[in-house]
Chain A
Amino acid sequence: MKTIARAVFTAALLLGTSLSAFALERGGTLTYGRYADSLFLDPVLNDANVDIWILSNLYDTLLLPTDDGKGVQPGLASEYKLADDGMNLTLTLRDGIRFSDGSPITPADVAWSLKRAAKKDNGIWGFMIESIDDVTTEGDKTILIKLKHPDPAILAALTVFNTAILPQKQFEASPGATDEEKAKAFAEHPIGSGPFVLKSWDRGSSMKLVRNEYYWAKGEDGQPLPYLDGINFELIPDDATRILKLTSGEIDGAEFIPYSRVNELKSSGNLNMELFPSTRVAYITLNVRPQLGGKDNPLSNPKVRQAMNFAVNKEAIIQIVTHGVGKPQTSYMSTATPLHVGDKPLYPYDLDKAKLLMKEAGFEGGFSTSILVLAGNQDEIAASTALQQMWAQIGIKLELQQVDNPTRTQQYRDGTFVMRNAAWTDDIADPNEITSYFVYSKTIDALHTGWKSDEADQLFEASQKEMDPKKRAEQYARMQEIYNAEGPTVPLYETPYPVALSKKVHGFLQIPLGNNIFAKTWKEK
């Protein structure tokens, strides 16, 4: 842990020196173009990335992820200590920290917030802290967390948005009978302890944040963060429009720049085209159930899957889809995910081998199959169109089916889909989340594919309690080996987060977990 902390410190220092090349300026409002609006600003009950990725600006957590997304650093808790048996965690709150309404943050608020987050059926994120047994307080600064079992990921879990600390009294004073109703009311005017406060929200149009006067962290100039007076999130779903608004100077930053535009914006004089390292991987999910729609499913044959993998020219796809921005996957998890193993691209393009495997699998003549594509999603269309061409080489005739998201999700959940495009981003600085979904069959049937490896399941269960980092790393190495060899996915590429910012904007960061960090952002006048 220490080495990580040191690395972070060094990185921060480097970043700091590079920043100090400019004279830091405080004040001003940053206008940031988002592709979709948030839905629900409750950290526990929210459902989607559109909420998750900006929540840290409103709500603070006890611990914070490091900027590389792999480690943990102090947040509202200035100190934390995990007992040697791994069953107890002690945290100490910072001095004088307050919520955005000025009320002090007490251990009681913390205990209540964590218990609410851990409560079964409260939202869909509780699984990350399912190990928490009880939370108690001691004095006016100390929090004791008792675990059901040793949890190697508990520290990382306390950086995740759903463990954000909310003021118990104000929350419970919100109108409504149930927790959900109260949360609905509370989330309209959230009170947290993040660097910003929600000022106004015009759903589907814009969201205005202003600086939180009570935020605890200090900036480089020794004054409290954030530097900005406020942030205006403007909702601009159309990619081209979002970029046009940025280039015309109407907004200062824009997220989700299409890969096709990255090189163009890079060469633009007044923009910084940022490619933030991410945990994002893009892949094709294959349904490997032996029978599908009453017919034998060729995809259930691992050799077929390997053949399909070998038949994909990843470099070409990276060119076509990401315009060179992405890179080939070396494991099912991204290189930015802790405990990632792998140094060379999976399944190098090898048509002969693919054909051979098809022959061995008894599908020399190929077969017809289909893939779900999110309607209108240019990346998925491009990737699938390329796959259609590539797999045609080994006799697989691929039909593209564009559907809307709910339709796709339903087929996915029902396990009736054949293939689908998919992408994944970690929410926690630990490999357990992605592995639980991809590999472990008991979460959602390994991405609803019906794939199952008893060995991997056992390894995963063991790793969830394994406190020895080295042993845990070995477990993950083995799981990656199994999955990468015969798993139900065709890994395509991993990509950074493409964010374009005006040259006047400094200090913005999107960490590999996706969180947009505006605390240290400042803007030249």
Chain B
Amino acid sequence: MPLFSFVIRRLLQMIPTVIFILIVTFILVRLLPGDPASAMLGDRARDADVERINRQLGLDQPVVVQFFYFVRRVVTGDLGNSIGLKVSVSSLILQRLPVTLMLTGMSALIALVLAVPLAFIAASKRERLPDSIIRGAFQMGLSMPVFYVGIVLLTVFAAQLKLFPVGGYGDTLGDRLYHLFLPALTLALSFAAVLMRNLRASIIEVMNAEYVDFATAKGLRSRVILFRHILRNALISTVTLFGLQIGTLLGGAVITETVFAVPGAGRLLIDSIYGRDYPVLQGLTIALAVLVSLTFLITDIVQAWLDPRIAR
């Protein structure tokens, strides 16, 4: 029951957040110089063509009126049609967002798989050689621009070693996972570095906690102490960070998806900025905001599940 009310409360908190984002997006895109017609028609358009299209899109209306129409549509669940791609925004989002979700999901998974064991090794060999090597390597991972990591991985693993496809997105699920591995790894490296750093610190902290001493004094096997007592408690603070980083991960997906030719929401977002595709930009922003908020919610729930003290 407390968990339930906790979830409801969090869902209610999302509403002002989404409204705020909606307004910011709306204002921001209309401040952008250039209009959809200019973006679409290119250099050869004549003024008459541009005016005609802007009229068709309702962009000759005052901004307030546009916002009103926009909100009315959103409330009825209609996100409008893409200006450039001539299809409905909702279908576009349904098509692209799962790709990005899979990409970020995979990279989150890879990051965890990398970070958890290495953080543990680093924490248990604290201030000694393995710790220094692991921290140094991740430090570098943190210091490299995503696009550069992507290009390097692409050149080495796809082009030279031919272990992975160069890019794109497969047809079957297995094929897609295979295609998304390298971009996911690219995103995962810096994410893993952040996680590792945090997890290492909290493992060290938990190792010094008195309940670990108590568990030792109980004569528990070291495996039990490690998993049940140390790791579980250390993960609690990392879960929050994990949730917070999802937003960053989605931001990183913008560049990764371009480098690896992954047809995901990140690239759609950039394309819609460059194409001044207002409906897509707005729709996608809402979708991403809701998505990230849900991620926060899920991490909160996971945290509450890991830590019974939270959901009072």
* Residue A482 is within 8 A (CB to CB) of chain B in the complex: no
Stretch touching chain A among B11-19, B60-68, B263-271: B263-271
Give Cα A494–Cα B162 distance, bound, in whole angstroms: 37
A64 to chain B, nearest CB (A): 23
Stretch touching chain B among A71-79, A244-252, A516-524: A244-252
Selected from B46, B47, B86, B95, the residue in CB contact (under 8 A) with A40 is B86
| B84 / chain A contacts, CB cutoff of 8 Å | 39
| B44 / chain A contacts, CB cutoff of 8 Å | 124, 437, 444
* Residue B38 is within 8 A (CB to CB) of chain A in the complex: yes
* Residue B78 is within 8 A (CB to CB) of chain A in the complex: no
Contact A202 B95 (CB under 8 A): yes
* Residue B149 is within 8 A (CB to CB) of chain A in the complex: no
Report if A250-B165 is in contact (Cβ < 8 Å); known contacts: A124-B46, A238-B259, A404-B274: yes
Name the residue of chain B whose CB is nearest to the CB of A123. Answer: B49
**Residues 41-100 of A at the B interface (beta carbon under 8 Å):** 47-48
| A444 / chain B contacts, CB cutoff of 8 Å | 44, 46-47
A220 to chain B, nearest CB (A): 33
* Residue A291 is within 8 A (CB to CB) of chain B in the complex: no
Contact B268 A48 (CB under 8 A): no
Q: Which 3 A-B pairs have the closest CB atoms?
A: A406-B34, A205-B263, A409-B38
Name the residue of chain B whose CB is nearest to the CB of A427. Answer: B44
Contact A202 B43 (CB under 8 A): no
Name the residue of chain B whose CB is nearest to the CB of A404. Answer: B274
**Residues 261-283 of B at the A interface (beta carbon under 8 Å):** 261, 263, 267-268, 271, 273-276
Contact A409 B34 (CB under 8 A): yes
* Residue B228 is within 8 A (CB to CB) of chain A in the complex: no
Give Cα A236–Cα B154 distance, bound, in whole angstroms: 14
Give Cα A241–Cα B260 distance, bound, in whole angstroms: 7
| B144 / chain A contacts, CB cutoff of 8 Å | none
| A48 / chain B contacts, CB cutoff of 8 Å | 40-42
Name the residue of chain A whose CB is nearest to the CB of B99. Answer: A205
Name the residue of chain A whose CB is nearest to the CB of B167. Answer: A241
| B273 / chain A contacts, CB cutoff of 8 Å | 404
Name the residue of chain A whose CB is nearest to the CB of B267. Answer: A204
- 23 A-B contacts (beta carbon < 8 Å): A39-B40, A48-B40, A121-B52, A124-B45, A202-B263, A203-B85, A204-B267, A205-B168, A237-B267, A238-B261, A240-B154, A241-B166, A242-B261, A250-B168, A404-B273, A405-B42, A406-B274, A406-B276, A408-B34, A409-B39, A410-B35, A413-B45, A444-B46
Name the residue of chain A whose CB is nearest to the CB of B49. Answer: A124
Give Cα A125–Cα B260 distance, bound, in whole angstroms: 35
| A187 / chain B contacts, CB cutoff of 8 Å | 86
Contact A245 B96 (CB under 8 A): no
Range for the number of chain A residues in contact with chain B? 35 or more
| A405 / chain B contacts, CB cutoff of 8 Å | 34, 38-39, 42, 274
Contact A244 B45 (CB under 8 A): no
| A409 / chain B contacts, CB cutoff of 8 Å | 34, 38-39, 41-43, 45
Name the residue of chain B whose CB is nearest to the CB of A403. Answer: B33
* Residue A422 is within 8 A (CB to CB) of chain B in the complex: yes
Contact B85 A39 (CB under 8 A): yes
Contact B46 A47 (CB under 8 A): no
Selected from A241, A245, A403, the residue in CB contact (under 8 A) with B259 is A241
* Residue A443 is within 8 A (CB to CB) of chain B in the complex: yes
* Residue B208 is within 8 A (CB to CB) of chain A in the complex: no
Contact B38 A413 (CB under 8 A): yes
Contact B34 A235 (CB under 8 A): no
Contact A241 B154 (CB under 8 A): yes
* Residue B258 is within 8 A (CB to CB) of chain A in the complex: yes
Contact A124 B41 (CB under 8 A): yes
**Residues 86-105 of B at the A interface (beta carbon under 8 Å):** 86-87, 92, 95-96
Contact B34 A407 (CB under 8 A): yes
| A236 / chain B contacts, CB cutoff of 8 Å | 167-168, 261
* Residue A141 is within 8 A (CB to CB) of chain B in the complex: no
| A407 / chain B contacts, CB cutoff of 8 Å | 32-34
Selected from B48, B86, B167, the residue in CB contact (under 8 A) with A245 is B167
Report if A250-B166 is in contact (Cβ < 8 Å); known contacts: A405-B274, A410-B34: yes
- Known A40-B86, A202-B263; further 11 A-B contacts with Cβ < 8 A: A204-B96, A238-B261, A245-B168, A247-B159, A404-B34, A404-B273, A405-B274, A406-B275, A406-B276, A409-B43, A410-B35
**A residues apposed to B, CB below 8 Å:** 39-40, 47-48, 121, 124, 180, 184, 187, 202-206, 234-238, 240-242, 244-245, 247-248, 250, 403-413, 422, 437, 443-444, 447
* Residue B50 is within 8 A (CB to CB) of chain A in the complex: yes
Contact A235 B263 (CB under 8 A): yes
Number of residues on chain B facing chain A (CB within 8 A): 50
Give Cα A202–Cα B42 distance, bound, in whole angstroms: 24
A242 to chain B, nearest CB (A): 8
Selected from A40, A238, A413, the residue in CB contact (under 8 A) with B50 is A413
**B residues apposed to A, CB below 8 Å:** 32-36, 38-50, 52, 56, 84-87, 92, 95-96, 151, 154-155, 158-159, 162, 165-169, 258-261, 263, 267-268, 271, 273-276
Report if A47-B41 is in contact (Cβ < 8 Å); known contacts: A40-B86, A236-B168, A406-B33: yes
A35 to chain B, nearest CB (A): 10
Give Cα A412–Cα B46 distance, bound, in whole angstroms: 11
Contact A237 B261 (CB under 8 A): yes
| B268 / chain A contacts, CB cutoff of 8 Å | 204
B277 to chain A, nearest CB (A): 10
Task: Give the residue among A124, A206, A250, A403 with the most B Cβ atoms within 10 A.
Answer: A124
Contact A234 B47 (CB under 8 A): no
Give Cα A409–Cα B32 distance, bound, in whole angstroms: 13
Give Cα A238–Cα B260 distance, bound, in whole angstroms: 8
Task: Give the residue among B38, B46, B158, B271 with the most A Cβ atoms within 10 A.
Answer: B38
Contact A47 B167 (CB under 8 A): no
Give Cα A132–Cα B193 distance, bound, in whole angstroms: 66
| B169 / chain A contacts, CB cutoff of 8 Å | 205
Contact A204 B263 (CB under 8 A): yes
| B39 / chain A contacts, CB cutoff of 8 Å | 405-406, 409
Give Cα A275–Cα B141 distance, bound, in whole angstroms: 40
| B49 / chain A contacts, CB cutoff of 8 Å | 124
| A406 / chain B contacts, CB cutoff of 8 Å | 32-36, 38-39, 274-276
B133 to chain A, nearest CB (A): 31
Report if A248-B158 is in contact (Cβ < 8 Å); known contacts: A184-B86, A406-B276, A444-B46: yes
| B259 / chain A contacts, CB cutoff of 8 Å | 238, 241
Report if A413-B47 is in contact (Cβ < 8 Å); known contacts: A204-B96, A407-B34: yes
Task: Give the residue among A238, A412, A447 with the most B Cβ atoms within 10 A.
Answer: A238
| B267 / chain A contacts, CB cutoff of 8 Å | 204, 237
| A412 / chain B contacts, CB cutoff of 8 Å | 43
B281 to chain A, nearest CB (A): 12
Name the residue of chain B whose CB is nearest to the CB of A447. Answer: B43
Report if A235-B42 is in contact (Cβ < 8 Å); known contacts: A205-B169, A241-B154: no
